Amino acid sequence: MNSIKAIRGMNDILPSAVGAWQSIERQMRTLLASFGYEEIRPPIVERTELFRRSIGEITDIVEKEMYTFDDRNGDSLSLRPECTASIARAAIQSGLLRTPGQRVWAMGPMFRHERPQKGRYRQFHQLDVEILGIADASAEAELIVMSRRLWRMLGIDDPVLEVNSLGDRTIQKRYRKELVEYFSSRSAELDDDCRRRLQTNPLRILDSKNPAMQPLIEAAPRIVDRLDPAALGHFERLEAMLGEAGVEYRINPRLVRGLDYYTGTVFEWTTDALGAQSAVCGGGRYDDLIADIGGSASPAIGFAIGLERLVALLELSGVEPSIPVPHAYLAGIGEAGERSAHAVAERLRDAISDLRLIVDAESASLKAKLKRANRSGARFAFLLGEEEIRDGALTVRDLRKDTPQSSISLEGISALIAAADAAPTPALPDH
């Protein structure tokens, strides 16, 4: 029979890789808590309408990339392609917005039917961080310094920060008109994709990666030059805060991002270490989104970090995630030992908090059991036979040192584990 494979672009994260993920997730949680952010867990499936109204009808995500289906009631649902809209919806629905200054985060899988390649998948994971109800540029500055702190905490080289301001909807409307006039007057020079974008979403022409389009784009009017005094003041306040905090950044007037809900500040952290998929983190202000999906108007800002790309960066930086090895592998020897193994393991677990203990699960010779103990990566093998049961002890072998085995009472095991935890674990011997 054919074996069933995972869906293209949707990857298993195997036990050998999961340590790096857990290490990143753990550090993220610590950092977020230290900045006063709380976790929120919206569902993975939402009404398609939510994404249409927030991300925008005429965006690559909504037009081409969503996993959309009718459920058994005939309602159109979609797997979330990103999380901001879900968080905004949840905040409206639950009344979270009644208290301004909500700092929340969510982590989990997102789904986009894109062409899979290195760093670009159909199921990928994001950490999504949002500040709801704060209009001041201080919210932007907070998210930016927090992300910079995360790069440093993880031990990866700072990616490059690019910022831009898209102004409010009135400014965007005026600018869009100006852009359409400019590109229409040069339409013969546009490639097919840009010509299509000219009709649908002209701002996205600025995003084109086609080298032939670059001179035309370089010469296009820039939205930063079209900001009104309020938008300009906001942007300058952000620049002052970033300057004070020693954050290096580059203003990229062509940074527009692929989602329609952004107004005002947008930013991206990019790296040249990952090839074509250079964006590690992207975000911005979306002061109209909450009203657009039916809430009472509330300013908001957020960013999303792509975890796959962060894991790849961590690998490149050579930082080894610290994955705790099991303390011990407990093997019952003979029928009586095998029968009592779980009972003894439970006593040890009761006595020693955070004990990492694997119990051998199949009858075999002592030699085979020791081989399994070695393969488990555990520090110690605990052997339990009739004699040990009678003595209330375990025969202990240090699998990382060439020392003779010894008999240790069940009470004495706590001290053994505490001593092992206090010292660095010796490397596995070559077998």
> Which residues of this chain interact with ligand AMP, rule CB under 6 A?
82, 112, 114, 119-121, 124, 126, 258, 279-282, 304, 306, 308-309
- CB 119 within 8 Å of CB 276: yes
Give the residue with the Cβ less far from ligand AMP, 23 or 59: 59
- CB 46 within 8 Å of CB 253: no
Q: Which residues, in sequence order, are bridge partners of residue 124?
A: 110
We find the least distance from the C-beta atom of residue 125 to ligand AMP, in angstroms, to be 8
Task: Tell me the C-alpha to C-alpha distance, in Å, between residue 125 and each of 91, 305, 365.
Answer: 21, 8, 44
> Greatest CA separation found in the chain?
93
Give the residue from 372, 367, 351, 371 showing the smallest Cα distance to 416: 351
Give the residue with the Cβ less far from ligand AMP, 100 or 258: 258
We find the least distance from the C-beta atom of residue 306 to ligand AMP, in angstroms, to be 2
Give the residue with the Cβ less far from ligand AMP, 128 or 142: 128
DSSP for 94-125, please give it. Answer: HTGGGSS-EEEEEEEEEE-----BTTB-SEEE
We find the least distance from the C-beta atom of residue 106 to ligand AMP, in angstroms, to be 13
- By beta carbon distance, the residue nearest ligand AMP is 306
We find the least distance from the C-beta atom of residue 196 to ligand AMP, in angstroms, to be 20
We find the least distance from the C-beta atom of residue 48 to ligand AMP, in angstroms, to be 17
We find the least distance from the C-beta atom of residue 103 to ligand AMP, in angstroms, to be 19
Total Cβ atoms within 10 A of residue 215:
9
Structure tokens at 413: 């095991």
CA distance 232 to 430: 64
CA distance 144 to 61: 25
We find the least distance from the C-beta atom of residue 87 to ligand AMP, in angstroms, to be 13
We find the least distance from the C-beta atom of residue 214 to ligand AMP, in angstroms, to be 22
We find the least distance from the C-beta atom of residue 15 to ligand AMP, in angstroms, to be 21
Helix residue ranges per DSSP H, 264-392: 289-292, 307-317, 334-351, 366-375, 386-391
Helix (H, G, I), strand (E, B) or coil at 5: coil
Give the residue with the Cβ less far from ligand AMP, 286 or 329: 286
Give the residue with the Cβ less far from ligand AMP, 316 or 366: 316
Give the residue with the Cβ less far from ligand AMP, 13 or 336: 13
DSSP for 147-201, please give it. Answer: HHHHHHHHT-PPPEEEEEE---HHHHHHHHHHHHHHHHHTGGGS-HHHHHHHHH-
CA distance 363 to 346: 20
Give the residue with the Cβ less far from ligand AMP, 278 or 340: 278
Give the residue with the Cβ less far from ligand AMP, 120 or 226: 120
